[in-house]
């Protein structure tokens, strides 16, 4: 997989050099690597990092309920929209192998925080994703359009993908830096 991150600072409408924040575009596709639609095949995410301090109280309150998560420190909050697609090993089968990974798309919105605690050399990353799995995620549509655009065979099993179901994913990562 190749991950392409393109930061783009957005200029204010009045033409001055004030920037409200940074957009980051992340594109992942197995075309850039092994070139096979197997398992995690494609993803795209647009993230916005506001320049000004933005601390959604509801998010902080929610994170305070989770043992071990403490967002006190130098924090940067981010919001994102993304889509990911997963396919079985053989995408030419109209009826995918039941023992293989199912076709699935994940369309989501995310809010997160990166918190640095200089006094303890601790860097935390926490995010809350809300999304949908199934046809409503548009994974099949997106992959078929992409394959048409680049001129490769269309995947045939998206009609057997996971059913529509909402999802919530909470992610937490802590890194301790050595002094």
pLDDT at position 52 is 80
The mean of the pLDDT values for the chain is 85
Q: What CATH code is carried by the domain that includes residue 60?
A: 2.40.128.140
**Domain total for the chain?**
1
Which domain covers residue 94, as residue numbers? Answer: 2-176
- Tens digit of each residue's pLDDT (9 = 90 or more) over 117-157: 778 888 889 999 999 999 999 999 999 999 999 898 899 99
Say whether pLDDT at 92 is over 70: yes
Mean of pLDDT values over 82-106: 95
Structure-model confidence comparison of residues 141 and 175, the more confident one: 141
- Displacement of CA 87 from its chain's centroid (Å): 17
**Given this model, what pLDDT does residue 36 score?**
67
Mean pLDDT comparison of 12-21, 28-37, 62-71, 82-91, highest-scoring range: 82-91
The DSSP bridge partners found for residue 62 are none
Share above pLDDT 90 across residues of the chain, in percent, rounded to a whole number: 50
Overall average pLDDT of the 23-45 stretch: 84
Mapping DSSP onto H, E and C, the string for 12-54 reads: CCCCCCCCCEEEEEEEEEHHHCCCCCCEEEEEEEEEEEECCCC
User: Against a cut of 0.85, is the pTM above it?
Assistant: no
Query: Is 111 a residue whose pLDDT tops 60?
Result: yes
Q: Looking at per-residue confidence, does 76 or 109 come out higher?
A: 109
Nearest Cα to 146, choosing from 49, 19, 63, 37?
Answer: 37
Band (pLDDT 50/70/90 cuts) for residue 53 is confident
């Amino acid at each position: 997989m190749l991950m392409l991150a393109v930061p783009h600072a957005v200029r204010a409408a009045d033409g001055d050099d004030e920037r409200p924040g940074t957009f980051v575009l992340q594109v992942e596709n197995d075309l850039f690597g092994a070139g096979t639609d197997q398992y995690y095949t494609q993803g795209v995410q647009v993230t916005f990092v506001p320049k000004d301090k933005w601390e959604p109280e509801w998010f902080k309150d929610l994170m305070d309920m989770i043992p071990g998560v403490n967002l006190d420190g130098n924090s940067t909050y981010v919001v994102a929209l993304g889509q990911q697609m997963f396919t079985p090993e053989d995408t030419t089968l109209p009826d995918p192998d039941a023992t293989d990974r199912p076709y699935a798309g994940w369309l989501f919105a995310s809010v997160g925080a990166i918190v640095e605690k200089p006094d303890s050399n601790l860097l935390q990353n926490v995010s809350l994703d809300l999304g949908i799995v199934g046809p409503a995620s548009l994974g099949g549509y997106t992959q078929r359009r992409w394959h048409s655009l680049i001129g490769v065979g269309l995947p045939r099993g998206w009609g057997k993908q996971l059913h529509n179901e909402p999802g919530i994913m909470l992610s937490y990562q802590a890194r301790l830096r050595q002094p």
